[in-house]
Amino acid sequence: MGKSRIGRYWELDLLRGIAVGMMVSFHALYDLDFFSGPVDVHSGIWPSFAKAIATIFLLLVGISLNISSAGARVRGGDSFLRHLRRGAKIFSWGMAITISTILLLGDGFVVFGILHLIGISIILSYPFLRRPLADLVFGSAAISAGLWIRQFTFDSPWLLWLGFVPRHFCSVDYFPLLPWFGVVMVGIFLGTVLYPEGRRRVPLPDISARTPAKQICILGRNSLIIYLVHQPLKRARRKTCARHGQRLESLVVIAAR
């Protein structure tokens, strides 16, 4: 096992930075589509491309949860209160996005988006940490359940956060717990395999100081800031559901449908 200390790992920042670049590129194409550009991001490979971006982000959330929890145990113990505080902080940013999209969009505002999901996932993941088999089994079950229920629509909006989509629902950013919390759980499983006790299993040469890896890692270390800053710019140009007559699917958004 590699003896690297518990902390930030450049390869995770690199992967996260690549996902940020993919996200920004996809949104640029989305804006071209908005202005009747040559690309239709609702067809072809583009919906799958957007789902892949979201999947990368959420797998990295799970891997990072495993590493940060291991570090907390080394420093004196990992606690549910710690996860509650971290999750509540991310969820509060999600609520800020909800408010901003209500003001900017009206119809199609964010009810339960990517930051809501990550915040709740941080809290719900606590009992599963250090239980890799449970992570894999529960995560796979959550993904399967989410893929199954997305075939249906429902009369009530109260389980929207779980993945039970009401009829005529529309949102520019929708990430229900089913199936997406399952992706986070699989990420936690991968974290226990690749970073047991928070330490890198396989030694890697550090290329984080080289160009372009250095710049990409910087993007990865600031992914939340980049996401929050670019959101108002993106939302201000986004088509509303009423104008589209369909559900919108933007990047880090991939609706459960």
Instruction: Give the pTM.
Output: 0.86
SS3 content of the chain, % helix, strand, coil (to 5): 65, 0, 35
Q: What is the pLDDT along the chain (257 residues), one digit of tens a residue?
A: 344 456 689 999 999 999 999 998 888 887 777 666 677 887 889 889 999 999 999 999 999 999 999 988 888 778 899 999 999 999 999 999 899 888 877 777 889 999 999 999 999 999 999 899 999 999 999 999 999 998 898 988 899 999 999 988 888 789 999 999 999 999 999 999 999 999 999 999 999 899 899 999 999 999 988 888 766 555 555 544 434 433 333 434 333 33
* Gap between the Cα atoms of 29 and 34, Å rounded: 9
Q: How many CB atoms lie within 10 A of CB 225?
A: 10
